[in-house]
Amino acid sequence: MKRSIINTARAPKAIGPYSQAVSAGGAIYLSGQVGLDPATGELVGGGLEAEARRVFDNLRAVAEAAGASLAAAVRVTIYLRDLSQFVLANRIMAEYFSEPYPARVTIGVAALPRGAAIEVDCILVP
């Protein structure tokens, strides 16, 4: 199976041994994004709301670099440091996706890279 690596300067550089996304078998696998500003590599301020918007903007940039969009998402995974922020995360996600919504999992975690409040990954099938 042929795979293609997707990278864009419009999203933060990988902070570990991984690619921003990989296309294989007709699907595009977007690595988890935290709320890093692509220009500075620093976590945006403003709490979960600002971080979540940056996360979805980063994912959108990677999807577009792959020739797709978030409308092609079939699966989204959200990792939250504080599950009491679930309603806010839902509200922000709904600004980036429309019906029919992708399948989704939300997981409460003890910690995320760079002290982030949220991380999101997704799978696209354009």
104 touches 31 (CB < 8 A) = no
- From residue 48, give the alpha-carbon distance in Å to each of 3, 35, 45, 123: 34, 9, 9, 22
**With left for phi above 0 and alpha for psi between -120 and 50, is residue 41 left, alpha or beta?**
left
Those residues of the chain that have pLDDT short of 70 are none
Q: CA 35, 41, 42 angle in degrees (round to 5)? A: 60
CA-wise closest residue to 13 among 50, 80, 61: 61
> Using one digit for the tens of pLDDT, what is the confidence trace for 26-45?
999 999 999 999 999 999 99
- Check residue 1 and give its pLDDT: 81
Structure tokens belonging to residue 112: 């995320």
Structural domains present in the chain? 3-124 (3.30.1330.40)
